[in-house]
Amino acid sequence: MIQAFGAQATGLRLARMQASPRYADGAFRNTHPVAPGLKKGTATPTISEFLCGGQRRTPPGPLPSVNPLGTWLRPAGSPLRATWLGHSTVLLEMDGVRVLTDPVWGERASPVKFAGPKRFQPVPVTLAQLPPLDAVVISHDHYDHLDYPTIRELAGRSVPFITSLGVGAHLEAWGVAPERITELDWWESADLLGGKLRITAAPSQHFSGRALGARNPTLWSSLALRTDHASVFFSGDTGLTDEYSEIQRRLGPFDLVMLEVGAFHPAWGDIHLGPENALKANALLGGARLLPVHWGTFNLAMHAWDEPAETLLALAPRYGAALAMPRLGEAVELAHVEAVVPWWRPAAGSADAALPENEEPPSLPPHPDAVPWPMD
């Protein structure tokens, strides 16, 4: 058996899953019904696109990136700082509390090393170079959100993991101590650091499973994170759902909303947002600053690699949306967000033009263990 498939829940973990109102007949369900597969009438063109398409699905050269290590060594100048590290991986600093979302450092979103979607370029920092973490949150168990080699390495740290019901079975099988795993059903919360950080699981509209035939064995969630002076919403993977209005009412307001915008297709509208539905979702969530995630890292759909960013930028004024679209590794603070510069456009045409004028390519320290992180 391939170890990256993970493990099935048993015992008390399984009993807790079975007690969830979202669990029936051996699987989790969405609140609202979704199509079981591709929408009617779309299967043939979608499969054809996937197998025979390929126009501009990957950038022709490395994307602009920034080494965030120097920034992370300096205290944030405001209660909230966010660093996008690729796909749905973001390092959040909220009142000095560090939370890592859906960490994926693996080369492929796949259970094996020799096949599957390959990332466009390495993460701007290694796992060893991350500062001390206060929490890791994992929205669901798909390979581009729950990465076996990444978890194996993070298991050696003392950081707690907050995730959806059932996902803890994978984490425990990969070496994470059970006392460091907290699994949440929707609307359940976990308080960390003596109440300095509250993480609440909330509805999303998606699915789960890591092996053939395993359909919805674990729960999928969005997550709301709150400290005294900062509040963030993280969508995980989801389709557009009116449950966002309820999330805003119960868990808002939010200072920053992180929504998936990539790997979309009209056939997948029930389970993925895409850029326009992300703007609609953001409005339902209260219209906070929007940081798009789930794009620019893996070739997971039939659209051009930069289409999510271009569509989002073009449509944002229509929805009155304020965007934060940093380069890989670039930390942003809400108090200092400037107008979006489409940094991805030079990369789309020429790798030589990937970095802005007068900016040196980032270099990583050769000895990660020597990085003088303050131990707090």
Per DSSP, 119 falls in state P
d(CA 2, CA 110): 11
d(CA 110, CA 59): 20
Cα–chain center distance at 268: 18
Give, in order, the Cα–Cα distances in Å from 342 to each of 8, 76, 124, 154: 43, 25, 19, 33
What's the whole-model pTM score? 0.90
Per-residue pLDDT of the chain (376 residues; tens, 9 = 90+): 489 999 999 999 999 999 999 999 999 999 988 765 545 444 444 544 444 455 688 999 999 999 999 999 999 999 999 999 999 999 999 999 999 999 999 999 999 989 999 999 999 999 999 999 999 999 999 999 999 999 999 999 999 999 999 999 999 999 999 999 999 999 999 999 999 999 999 999 999 999 887 889 999 999 999 999 999 999 999 999 999 999 999 999 999 999 999 998 887 878 999 999 999 999 999 999 999 999 999 999 989 999 999 999 999 999 999 999 999 999 999 888 888 999 999 876 633 333 333 333 333 333 222 233 333 3
Exposed, middle or buried: residue 178 (CB in 10 Å: 0-12, 13-18, 19+)?
Answer: exposed
What is the model's pLDDT at position 212?
A: 80
CB burial of 346-358 (b: ≥16 within 10 Å; e: otherwise) equals bbbeeeeebbeee
Rg from Cα positions in the chain: 20
d(CA 364, CA 126): 9
What is the model's pLDDT at position 346?
A: 81
Per DSSP, 87 falls in state T
Residue ranges covered by each domain of the chain:
71-356
User: Helix H segments across the chain?
Assistant: 11-18, 43-52, 69-73, 148-154, 168-173, 243-251, 274-284, 307-319, 344-349
Give the Cα-Cα-Cα angle 150, 154, 155 (nearest 5 degrees).
115
* pLDDT tens digits for range 111-140: 998 999 999 999 999 999 999 999 999 999
What is the model's pLDDT at position 84?
A: 98
Q: 71-356: what fold?
A: Metallo-beta-lactamase; Chain A (3.60.15)
Structure tokens at 216: 């919805």
